Structure 1
Amino acid sequence: MKFYRIITNLKEKCNAENAFVTFVLFLTILTGILYLLFAPKIDFSEEENRVLESPPELTAASVADGSFMKSIENYVGDHFMFRRNFVEMNTRVQLLMGKRDLGSNYGRTPAEGGVYFGSGGHLYEVLLPNHTDIFARNAAAIQTFAKKTALPFYFVPVPSGAQEQGDRLPYSAPSHDQHEELNAIKAGAGANTTVVDLFDTLSDRTGNDYYYKTDHHWNTFGAFEGYKALVTAMGMQPTPKDDFSFEKVSDSFLGTLYSKAICSSQEPDALYLPLYKKQAVVTQQTGKRTRGNLYWKEYLTKKDKYSVFLGGNHSVDVVKNPNASTKKKLLLIKDSYANSLIPFLTTNFSEIHIIDLRYYNQDIYKYIQQNGITETAAVYSIKQLCEVSVANKLSAR
């Protein structure tokens, strides 16, 4: 009889515990569902620098092809309660487990490398071997562009921070050597092309840090070194560094690499703007709008602070400085690395016509003729050349 009472008490206790666990689980699920249905949602994650999944639309076609369930999965993943806290916790757990490559997607074609946590508080892009023909087609198209224009052409392939600061990467971390792309560019250069090699210039061995810790771009001082090398290759005198004052406009810049591996203990970057001390009347024309300077300071209150330079990437910008040291007109094809280099170039060129081929859809050769261009250049990060195709934009219409 005593044994029976013990069993009965245990059953009652288990039933009570099961009922409590079931209630808590039900309450948690219900709260999560109500949160997803009624809580205010954001369309864009500033920290992750990406658009979040929109509410899924139920249609017969989306159910049949499975895209509806995939949309639900993505929507829940982007909007569940305390998501920011769980994302950071995931980063910390992976770091404690010894993982140093976060945010990667090696299941994609081509594979997408993540972010290394390096020494000195640096984050680095994981550089992967080039397994597609994107780089080869881009490099060939740029060289064809140079030959067709028959103008002096200067090609500036910019190495990544992981390339130039390899000693700061985690121990034995694999990293593709971007000298492979540099050598290919040099081998394909035509008679009117000068390739500007920045590998030694931006190296950690100089004792300077020319890259942001949380972003994939070079910092303002790295951009100045790139400017000096480019202008020198052009046979011109670079404007001395002392002719600029460098204004710190933010000490809370958290860039694209941070967005892939969010961690609240990450030290943010300082962001500096170069201000020319001498007389200059610099204007930037973007579409029909003309501004009196190159710095869009409204971006300093946003996550994407690097867009303070030129306001980010546009199809065409025309920057003019009638007080420049020459009357030359430069056409520059580029990615976002060039944006922080432009303020220095304005001291040497009366006009700089800036074209981002990712967004430009007109005949670039007609543009050159119509605007009296005297010099041409390209400033691209090597990683961008390996990942984003711009080759078709350089074909003559």
Structure 2
Amino acid sequence: MNPKKITVLAFLVLLIVPAVCFALPFDIGATSGSGVAWPKLSFKAVADKSYALGVESYFTQHFLERDQFLRLKTTLDVASGKKETNDVYLSESRLLQKVTLPTDESMRKSIESINRFASNSDKQIYFLLIPTAAEIYKETLPAYSPKADELAFINKTYSQLHSSITTLDAATPLTNSKEGEIFYRTDRRLTSYGAYSIYNYNIKSMGSVPAKLSDFSIEHLSGSFYGSLYKKTQYSLVKPDTIDLYHYAAKQYSSYVTIRNGTETTFHDNIYFRDRLTLSDPLSVFLGGTKPFINIQTDNQAKKNLLIFTDGNLGAMSQFLTIHYDDITIVDLSYLTEYYRDSIDFDRYDNVLFYYSTPSMLESDKFGKLSLFSK
């Protein structure tokens, strides 16, 4: 069908379906639970597309099930020739998030906070910025799409860091391993194999010898995982993902996890939370998902410790770091308060790792919280 006709059809759907709603047993003029009201119809609203956008917002929150509406919207977008919807680029091989990088001013504030922390610290500090799948697979992006130069951003950031900070390289191992499943097809996060690729390339720079891939027993935990990018689009042509767990078979040791979330503290005897597989985010099988404070103690006799500041993307990497450290504390600076700071014996850590994806650097305010660790 002609793309212009498809576009007209899509617009008619947004106009006609509301009329059907009047026959349904709820008040179409009511606001949804989120406060989204039915848009007022006028020639001006139709002309400037605010009516159609208002209908979309209302449907998403109130009329249709969210997934059903997203599936309809994506189908119409694709039929009209679009390869992007809800800031996600579509292809049958994978879904890619649209990346926005921080402004120079935002990064200036972040780097100032990080460098101030480094200059006041006697710790060995490492910094790892991870490019997104949109950078690693940029050749698959639509020709018209704006392409954030994440590698240039990473290099510029590294060049401005304090001289005492050791920078690590995620782009090279991910590029070298891109024929494998290093990112989930339906989610923005790294797979276990992607995390291993980064670990294997960088752990020497952190003073340890990497475990060989053959040292791991790989468990295929699930083959039907649909991640956050799929949930934003409901794009049915992309295949589901497999969630793999990497069990270190060369040496047996136990891990004990303490999680602090608000005033609640819980204790667990494994880094894998298998009961989370059926929840809304199955990737919370790793460490129970994003939390303000997580501590991992192991009996591997490594006699090394590590404090990690991260953005919630660490997940799968924990499988490999526990081989080399017997005490790891993971802190999400976005949630850091003095309450959590008081839970951390900062002096006992010799090593600090900043572990972030490039888009997560957008939030500059969080790095200001590093001042809580100043002497």
Q: Do Structure 1 and Structure 2 share a fold, with TM-score over 0.5?
A: yes
Give the Cα separation in 2 of the matches to 1:83 and 1:199: 35
Match of 2:90 in 1: 117
Q: Describe the shift of the 1:73–1:261 C-alpha distance in structure 2 as closer, same or farther (beyond 3 A).
A: closer
Deviates more, 1:358-367 or 1:162-171: 358-367
Residue 56 of structure 1: how far off its partner (Å): 4.6
Deviations 1:233-290 (A, max 9, x none): 1121112222211111111111111122112333111111111212111111113321
Whether 1:226 and 2:209 are equivalent positions in the alignment is no
Give the Cα separation in 2 of the matches to 1:25 and 1:284: 51
Match of 2:130 in 1: 158
Among the aligned pairs, what percent are the same residue? Answer: 26
Tell me the secondary structure at the aligned position of residue 128 of structure 2: strand
Give the Cα separation in 1 of the matches to 2:187 and 2:35: 32
Deviates more, 1:89-98 or 1:197-206: 197-206
Q: Describe the shift of the 1:368–1:87 C-alpha distance in structure 2 as closer, same or farther (beyond 3 A).
A: closer
Correspondence 1:163-182 to 2 at 5 A: 163-182=135-154
- What letter corresponds to residue 87 of structure 1 in structure 2? L
Q: Describe the shift of the 1:266–1:144 C-alpha distance in structure 2 as closer, same or farther (beyond 3 A).
A: same
Deviations 1:184-223 (A, max 9, x none): 2221222321111221211167533311111011111011
Correspondence 1:9-158 to 2 at 5 A: 28-33=21-26, 54=33, 56=35, 77-81=60-64, 83-103=66-86, 114-118=87-91, 120-131=92-103, 133-158=105-130
- What letter corresponds to residue 256 of structure 2 in structure 1? T
- For the 8 Å contact 1:36–1:80, the answer to whether it is kept is no
Deviations 1:296-347 (A, max 9, x none): 11221123111111111111111011214x2011101111221210121001
Larger radius of gyration: 1
Question: Which residues of structure 1 form unaligned runs of 5+?
Answer: 1-23, 38-51, 59-70, 104-113
Tell me the secondary structure at the aligned position of residue 389 of structure 1: helix
Q: 2:282 aligns with which of 302, 305, 315?
A: 305
Tell me the secondary structure at the aligned position of residue 349 of structure 1: coil
- For the 8 Å contact 1:154–1:230, the answer to whether it is kept is no
- For the 8 Å contact 2:36–2:61, the answer to whether it is kept is no
Deviates more, 1:263-272 or 1:327-336: 263-272
- For the 8 Å contact 1:56–1:72, the answer to whether it is kept is no
Residue 136 of structure 1: how far off its partner (Å): 3.1
Q: Describe the shift of the 1:227–1:362 C-alpha distance in structure 2 as closer, same or farther (beyond 3 A).
A: farther
Give the Cα separation in 1 of the matches to 2:81 and 2:132: 24
Correspondence 1:277-296 to 2 at 5 A: 277=249, 278-287=251-260, 288-296=265-273
Correspondence 1:203-352 to 2 at 5 A: 203=175, 207-277=179-249, 278-287=251-260, 288-324=265-301, 326-352=302-328
Tell me the secondary structure at the aligned position of residue 343 of structure 1: helix
Give the Cα separation in 1 of the matches to 2:173 and 2:217: 22
- For the 8 Å contact 1:127–1:162, the answer to whether it is kept is yes
Structure 1 vs Structure 2 CA RMSD: 3.0
- For the 8 Å contact 2:186–2:230, the answer to whether it is kept is yes
Tell me the secondary structure at the aligned position of residue 334 of structure 2: coil
Deviations 1:163-197 (A, max 9, x none): 01112222343211012321222212223211112
Residue 388 of structure 1: how far off its partner (Å): 5.9
Residue 89 of structure 1: how far off its partner (Å): 1.5
Q: Describe the shift of the 1:143–1:242 C-alpha distance in structure 2 as closer, same or farther (beyond 3 A).
A: farther
- For the 8 Å contact 1:213–1:268, the answer to whether it is kept is yes
Match of 2:5 in 1: none
Residue 139 of structure 1: how far off its partner (Å): 3.0
Deviations 1:59-84 (A, max 9, x none): xxxxxxxxxxxx99966641214553
- What letter corresponds to residue 128 of structure 1 in structure 2? T
- For the 8 Å contact 1:321–1:351, the answer to whether it is kept is yes
Residue 138 of structure 1: how far off its partner (Å): 2.2
Match of 1:49 in 2: none
Whether 1:383 and 2:359 are equivalent positions in the alignment is yes
Deviates more, 1:151-160 or 1:280-289: 280-289
Give the Cα separation in 1 of the matches to 2:55 and 2:359: 33
Residue 354 of structure 1: how far off its partner (Å): 0.8
Instruction: Give the TM-score normalised by the residue count of structure 1.
Output: 0.76
Q: Describe the shift of the 1:347–1:26 C-alpha distance in structure 2 as closer, same or farther (beyond 3 A).
A: closer
Instruction: Give the TM-score normalised by the residue count of structure 2.
Output: 0.81
Match of 1:40 in 2: none
- For the 8 Å contact 2:222–2:242, the answer to whether it is kept is yes
Question: Which residues of structure 2 form unaligned runs of 5+?
Answer: 1-16, 38-53
Deviates more, 1:367-376 or 1:292-301: 367-376
